[in-house]
Amino acid sequence: MQSGQSIRASYPTPVEVHDLGTVDYTDTWHLQADLANQRADDAIGDRLLLLEHPSTYTAGKRTQPEDRPTNGLPVVDVDRGGRITWHGPGQLVGYPIIKLADPIDVIDYVRRIEDALIKVCRDLGLPADRVDGRSGVWLPAGWFDGTPKPERKIAAIGLRITRGVAMHGFALNCDNTLEYYDHIVPCGIADAGTTTLSEELGRDVTVKEMENPVVDALFAALDGSINVEKH
């Protein structure tokens, strides 16, 4: 797929946005699967689910035993790619149920989601970018107020493509706690940190504040009208 073209099979038909509030992870996973099957059969159009989850660890298909939590909390083993992560209040989760145009290019789809979230962070004044070999959106290592900080992930991405339809999606850390990341190896990456928009900006950045900017940037990226440059 080339920049400037939509990756959606049904473009320019609009994507329906559903704000679900705070919903159980497993229930939402089953909802996604049902919607993805309907989308594959063309019974519905593209959807975007926006939500928060109660505190939940989820393990993708590449999760290793050493990644798993040390605090005894349960883990939902799920059919997305990637390794283990945490979801919880204060984190904006988005599940685009999108039928992809042929030929399906999964890497391009991931990059477009990254583009959207990078743009959102940069619009807030943060130097967000990709890190080679690592999915998601990152802030660079450096010294801040006299304190060294490692590379820090601010948004995670994990996907599944089935029958040409994408499900699962992204999680943008807004004003959530970082406590639960201390008990896992987030996304299987031991030499980097995690952060939130609130932590980096020094003010409370809520999920509600970020919903519209994320939706606008995501639709633009999927339809080919933004393509961020690497800093």
Give catalytic residue positions.
187
- Pairing of the two strands 152-162 and 193-194: parallel
Are 183 and 71 within 8 A, CB to CB? yes
Q: What are phi and psi of 43, to 5 degrees?
A: -80, -20
Cα within 13 Å of Cα(88), Cβ side: 13
Q: Output the CA–CA distances (angstroms, integers) from residue 204 to 10, 92, 175, 207, 209, in the order listed.
A: 37, 14, 6, 10, 10
CA distance 115 to 191: 24
Q: Which of 139, 161, 141 is nearest to 150 (CA)?
A: 141
Q: Which two tokens stand for residue 192?
A: 């980097």
Helix or strand run (H / E) with residue 69: none
Are 160 and 80 within 8 A, CB to CB? yes
Alpha-helical (H) ranges within 4-78 are 25-40
**C-beta neighbour count of 14 within 10 angstroms:** 10
